[in-house]
Structure 1
Amino acid sequence: QNKVASMKFWESIGAFYGAKDPSYAWPLALVHLNITLYALTFWLTRPVMPFLTTQLGADAVVFGYLQTVFSFVQLLGAPIIGRLCDTQGAKIALQMCQLATGLSYILLGSAWNIPVLFASQLPTVLMQSMHCSQAFVTDFSSDESRSSALGRLSLSYAVGMALGPMLGGLLSDVIGYHGVAWLAGALMFVPFLANMYSLPAHRPGMEKAKGEGGKGGLQVAECLKVLKIPTCRNLTVFMLMTGLAGQIYHSTFSMAGPSFFKLTAKDLGMFQTMSGVIGLISNTFVVGALEKALSQRSIITLGASILVCTFTAYSFATSFEHLLVIGFVSAFPSMAMYTTVTSMVTRGTPREVSATVIGLGHAARSLCGIVAPTIGGYLYKDQGVPGVGFTCAAIMVAAAVWSQVSQVTVPSAKSKEL
């Protein structure tokens, strides 16, 4: 009876995570644990980062450069990890990512001057755990449940995102800004040890990817090849536009929060926790309901349109209460668009290059992160919060229009040939 009960339990877990076979339930559950801890540690450090850098003598311009370095190394790493997932398996890639992420936080906690602070961002070239986890979910979930499975992965990320900022803000008063970073680094070794013994090394389609993908590593020709697929190319352009608007907003918010809106680390933690909680709600209830009522193309257009309104409202914000309202409204479309676009690019491309396609999406967002802090810093310095808000709104208008005119087509799960 215990064996039967255990089998039914894991069958229900597998069904919840969208596993195409009950034997994939445990690996998928562990992947979700990975992404929750990954998000928890990342968001632990977010509320303290502006204050830690200020403590080391950095101003808003230096903080912008720090974000540019982070995005640049992320851009370099995303295609590499994508091909590594396709050719060597996501387990190896994920283990490398967890170690590199932990090392980055430990260096951050040990930073005593600006050069070491910048050096702490170099290991983030492999801070691609979400990418690897999406590759796992794409391969071990059925086509019919692909969108909901990716949505639940974002749900697990949102759990960490909801807890991390609040804990980071509170712990900064107890163990200091550096202590929060050290704690984040230590926590990253938990999933590394669990993965070592429990995650499968093989992934479906890996042999085919090896045969077609060459010798592993970064295959530029393969990355360019997938961009010839209309769905991938058009959605990458959409991600570039939405990513640019989002990165301009986030890069300047780190400066505007403490200086213009007079927020503390606890305030930032509360604001970011609210976004995480809304992400939980969005991926649990909103994405699935929207996909039953609307096409995926309509969902991303609607999301972009809502963000046009919230960015416009941000231009007129003057208080923390205004930020809470704007953040509450914008979190729903942001999470829904991210989950839906990821589902669209994986369903619209061959399975053997799915991780490469996901990597290109992450690389597109990282590319935006390279230029956005400079653009945002210039806008914030000369035009203030209104200039940032109106610029982001204009970019999202372009994204909404592009989603309609680019003729994005995604086959249904039932009709897609594997």
Structure 2
Amino acid sequence: MSTVNKQISIFPLLLSNFIGTMGFSIVLPFLVFLVIDFGGNALIYGILAAIYPAFQLIGAPLLGRWSDSIGRKKVLLISNGGTFVGWIIFLIALYVPVWDIYSIHSAILGSFVITLPLIILFLSRTLDGITGGNISVANAYLADISTDKSRSKNFGKMAISSNLGFIVGPALAGILGATSYKETLPVLAAVFISLVAFLVIAFMLKESKVKIDKPAATPSPLVDISEKESIRQVFSCEPKECYKISNPKNLTFLDVFRLKNISLLLVLYFFIFLGFNIFYTSFPIHAVSGLKWTVTEMGVFYSVLSGVMILVQGPVLRKALQKFSEEKLVVLGSLILGINFALFMFNSTVLVYAALVLFALGNGLMWPSFLSILSKRAGNTHQGVIQGVGSSMGSLASIIGLIVGGLLYNWIGSLTFLISAVVIFIVFIISFKLLNLKKPV
């Protein structure tokens, strides 16, 4: 296998990521209202949110390993196809009768009713989760086509494309959800958007790992697909040339942890996602019950947050990388994030928006830098499987964080945000070890 082509344009990947994120974020402002209307509470909202990472925990390592063997593009198609079907099932949930199946009244779990629409929503999230390796595979794709010089910049661009999606998605939800059709139009938009993302990958994205092995009597050079492949070959109208795909040694979950310095990064991956997801469950419930926000106010919050994050992950991150190493930005960003989560404890919209700025600054400096460090340490050979295991660590932390966040908010209310702050301060302390790591060869 020759070296990976660094000349492939990242625009189709950024476009696909933007479209996919927009499709996901379009339901964020009203999902908590939908769960409550269907009979759920904070715990059910947390469990519903945890279903996706729970099944992603199963699917992401497999998809990551497949991407190392069969190529990134095929796996991204599988993942986005699952998302498209998942949104169709989600749409069905809006139109089935709200039949009560089982009700629970508990001092620990709270009061809620399991209804038919809730079950269908769970099915939708399950399918999307089991095929949800798109983030880790997209990160591996980005690592394939990045040089050491462009790596941080490319991961910053990926973060910006996500945040643009998070601006447009909630804004669309606010506009479409204000009509008499309520949640139907935003979900229909999510179905259409996920289909567009699938088509962008299918027709615009070039493969980053697959090479062509020219048949000959003597050993033949490997030629990049993009130089030889025609549209007729893609649709099997012409005979295809013989593809030779890299098949690196399969690493088990434990093998990945034994790789030098990878275990430290995976532990950080876990705690980052744990702190964030305790917050992600708690905040929508807090916005509804504590701050008394409407769907429109929720949409404005998510849009403003994403807008500030774009500013941070664009010019601010570029300036910061000129003065500080990626390792130092992880340390600084995690400190800012810990302070941010503590501010959410107060029932004050002013403090919430102050926390929003700190959230954007801390996350914008830390997360792209962390992903860049991980991709450098992973190298080329096992990039997909290491990104997949990282995604699994994130998924495991998300499952725990989302469910625990729902339970904690039922018990202690806004003090739950203090737990998120403590977890991120743990990340801050552990991340000092990154400063002592030797540069990868």
Please classify the TM superposition score into its range, dividing by the shorter chain length: 0.7 to 0.9
Runs of at least 4 residues off by over 3 Å: 204-209, 405-408
Give the equivalent residue in structure 2 for 1:9. none
In structure 1, what is the equivalent of residue 367 of structure 2?
Answer: 338
Q: Deviations over 1:337-386 (max 9, x none)?
A: 1111110011112211112222222212211111113322232222210x
Tell me the equivalent position of 2:118.
114
**Residue 162 in structure 1 maps to residue 144 in structure 2:** no
How far residue 405 of structure 1 moved from its aligned partner, in angstroms, is 3.5
Structure with higher helix content: 1
Which amino acid is 1:158 matched to? N
Q: Is 1:400 matched with 2:408?
A: no
Matched, 1:295 2:325: yes
Q: CA deviation at 1:199?
A: 2.7
d(CA) in 2 for partners of 1:301 and 1:153? 21
Report the residue type matching 1:411 in the other structure.
K
Deviations 1:281-339 (A, max 9, x none): 11211222222211221111111111121122222x21223211211221121132111
State whether residues 234 and 408 of structure 1, in contact with CA within 8 Å, keep that contact through their aligned partners in structure 2.
no
> Cα gap change, 1:307/1:227 in structure 2, threshold over 3 Å: closer, same or farther?
same
Q: Quickly say closer, same or farther: Cα 1:408–1:353, change in 2 above 3 A.
A: farther
Give the share of equivalent positions with the same residue, in percent: 21
- Indicate if the aligned counterparts of 1:346 and 1:354 stay in contact, CA closer than 8 A: yes
Q: Deviations over 1:224-259 (max 9, x none)?
A: 222212322101111211211111011111211111
Could you tell me whether the CA contact under 8 Å between 1:67 and 1:373 is conserved in 2? yes
TM-score, length basis structure 2: 0.82
Q: Confirm whether residue 241 of structure 1 aligns to residue 241 of structure 2.
A: no
Distance 1:201 1:296 in 2: 28
| Per-residue deviation, 1:66 | 0.9
SS of match in other structure, 1:143: coil
Contact 2:326 2:373 in 1 (8 A): yes
* Amino acid in structure 2 at the alignment position of 1:364: M
1:391 and 2:391 matched: no
Distance in structure 1 (CA, Å) of the matches to 2:403 and 2:163: 28
> Does the CA contact (< 8 Å) of 1:230 and 1:408 recur in 2?
no
For residue 322 of structure 1, what is the aligned residue in structure 2? 351
The residue correspondences of 1:15-414 to structure 2 (distance < 5 A) are: 20-21=6-7, 24-25=8-9, 28-111=10-93, 112=96, 113-124=117-128, 125-174=130-179, 175-201=181-207, 203=209, 209-213=246-250, 221-315=251-345, 317-385=346-414, 387-405=415-433, 409=437, 411=439
2-structure distance, mates of 1:339, 1:83? 23
> After superposition, what is the alpha-carbon deviation per residue over 1:391-414, rounded to whole angstroms, capped at 9, x for unaligned?
1222122111111146662626xx
Secondary structure of 1:194 counterpart = helix
Aligned-partner residue type, residue 133 of structure 1: A
Corresponding letter in the other structure for 1:398:
I
TM-score (norm 1): 0.86
Structure 2: stretches of 5+ with no match in the other structure? 97-116, 212-242
Helix, strand or coil at the partner of 2:29:
coil
Conservation of the 8 A alpha-carbon contact between 1:147 and 1:340: yes
Q: 1:410 to 1:259 in 2, by over 3 A?
A: farther
Q: Distance in 1 between matches of 2:365 and 2:348?
A: 27
1:348–1:410 CA contact under 8 A, matched in 2: no
Cα shift readout 1:72-127 (whole Å, capped 9, x = no counterpart): 01211221121111111111011111111111112112103221111111112212
Shift of 1:132: 2.4
The CA RMSD measured in Å over matched residues stands at 2.0
Cα deviation 1:128-171 (Å, max 9, x = unaligned): 32222222211112221111111111111111111111111221
Give the letter aligned to residue 34 of structure 2: L
Which letter maps to 1:409?
A: L
- For 1:20 and 1:145, the matched residues in 2 are separated by 10
For this pair of structures, how many residues does the alignment match? 382
Q: Do the aligned partners of 1:83 and 1:356 also contact (CA within 8 Å) in 2?
A: yes
Higher mean C-alpha deviation, range 390-399 or range 339-348: 390-399
Distance 1:257 1:207, change over 3 A: farther
Once the two structures are superposed, what CA deviation does each residue of 1:170-208 show, in whole Å capped at 9, x if it has no partner? 211123213311220122111322332333345169967
